[in-house]
């Protein structure tokens, strides 16, 4: 089956076409340092062709939720070295997902500082998980041009830190309503300067960050994750194709490793102008390798690869509960089901204690 065939990614050969998708697990310390349990967690899942880590905060300002890891100081870098070493010992490839949450955060977990965003528009109709429980979203602080330029540099430094920590590459999290996605969204970005107003201007921040990442990490070592048809976190566009196709075309001009493309994860009945097939609509535009994400099973993942647009399928929650997911796919074995109650925070329960297949 295609899921089990080797794939070339950049300058590396992956053992299969199954990637472990990024998933927030909130198991770091309050200072953003990953622990020995996290080393074990990733090592257990090193049979994936590619591991993409949970979102890693690029700076203190980037933090959105408690107990999420960082990569902006030496102690955090040293902790990640243990993870990359353990994964490499099993012959696997691991990318760091670089994360700035923008307005998807709360001052409770930001030393009293408000979240930042392209525009001072808060998220409505949702609440945010904080160290003091669920809270309504605050109105974020609108970023100045100078502050935006600083964040671009923060991404570059985070990429350098990731390379120093032993990662094989980095992925920009530009999906699911976080800061880069906020710049891409008409509903979140009401700027009238060079970073807003037109499609080209709304794409500018992401493209500047991607160039910075390539400069820092090198050619064929940078990926990007986008979600053109996901409206979670109040992200909407009047014409997703008009916004995202030019973005992908511009990304084609950069020496990237891949485009990580998310399917729509929520009903689109109230957004009839949104494309229903993200891979067909957007994946075909990319000249880079496409990783397909969100909602795949063994069967639908295989079918997606057969179509030929995507070359890798990334799995999220199936990898949470099945550290040996490629082996289970190979044998068509039953899957463990994830325990949603232990998804975020805590210790080994629901993290490193899911059973492997018996040998």
Interval 197-219: pLDDT, tens = 999 999 999 999 999 999 999 99
Question: Which domains does the chain show, CATH number per domain?
Answer: 2-342 (3.20.20.70)
Q: Which residues of 251-288 are buried (b: 16+ CB within 10 A; e: fewer)?
A: beeeebbbbbbbbbeeeeeebeebbeebbebbbebbeb
Interval 29-72: pLDDT, tens = 999 999 999 999 999 999 999 999 999 999 999 999 999 999 99
Q: Is the pLDDT of residue 265 over 90?
A: no
Q: Is the pLDDT of residue 156 over 80?
A: yes
Q: Assess contact for 313 and 18: CB atoms under 8 A.
A: yes
Q: Is the pLDDT of residue 270 over 70?
A: yes
- In this prediction, residues 327-346 reach a mean pLDDT of 95
- Please identify every residue annotated as catalytic: 178
Q: Is the pLDDT of residue 359 over 80?
A: no
Residue 100 has a pLDDT of 98
Interval 278-296: pLDDT, tens = 999 999 999 999 999 999 9
Residue 357 has a pLDDT of 94
CB atoms within 10 A of CB 330: 16
């Amino acid at each position: 089956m295609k899921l089990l065939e080797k794939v070339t990614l950049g300058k590396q050969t992956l053992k299969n076409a199954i990637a472990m998708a990024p998933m927030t697990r909130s198991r770091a310390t309050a200072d953003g340092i990953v622990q020995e349990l996290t080393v074990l967690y990733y090592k257990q899942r090193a049979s994936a062709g590619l591991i993409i880590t949970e979102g890693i905060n690029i700076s203190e300002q980037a933090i959105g939720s408690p107990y999420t890891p960082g990569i902006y100081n030496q102690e955090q870098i040293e902790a990640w070295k243990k993870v990359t070493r353990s994964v490499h010992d099993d012959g696997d490839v691991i990318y760091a997902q670089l994360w700035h949450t923008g307005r998807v955060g709360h001052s409770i977990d930001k030393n009293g500082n408000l979240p930042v965003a392209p525009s001072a528009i808060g998220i409505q109709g949702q609440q945010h998980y904080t160290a003091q429980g669920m809270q309504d979203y605050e109105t974020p602080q609108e970023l100045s041009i100078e502050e935006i330029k600083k964040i671009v540099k923060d991404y570059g430094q985070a990429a350098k830190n990731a390379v120093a920590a032993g990662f094989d590459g980095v992925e920009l999290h530009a999906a699911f309503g976080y800061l880069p996605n906020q710049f891409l969204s008409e509903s979140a970005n009401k700027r009238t300067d060079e970073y807003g107003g037109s499609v080209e201007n709304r794409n500018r921040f992401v493209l500047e960050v991607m160039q910075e990442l390539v400069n820092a990490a090198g050619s064929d070592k940078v990926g990007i994750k986008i979600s053109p048809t996901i409206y979670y976190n109040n992200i909407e566009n009047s014409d997703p194709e008009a916004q995202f196709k030019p973005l992908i075309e511009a990304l084609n001009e950069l020496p990237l490793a891949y485009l990580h493309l998310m399917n729509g994860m929520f009903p689109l009945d109230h957004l009839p102008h949104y494309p229903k097939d993200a891979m067909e609509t957007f994946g075909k535009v990319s000249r880079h390798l496409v990783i397909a994400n969100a909602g795949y099973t063994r069967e639908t993942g295989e079918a997606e690869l057969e179509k030929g647009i995507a070359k890798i399928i990334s799995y999220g929650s199936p990898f949470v509960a099945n550290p040996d997911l490629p082996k289970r796919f190979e044998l068509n074995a039953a899957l463990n089901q994830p325990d949603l109650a232990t998804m975020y925070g805590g210790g080994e329960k629901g993290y490193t204690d899911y059973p492997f297949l018996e040998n």
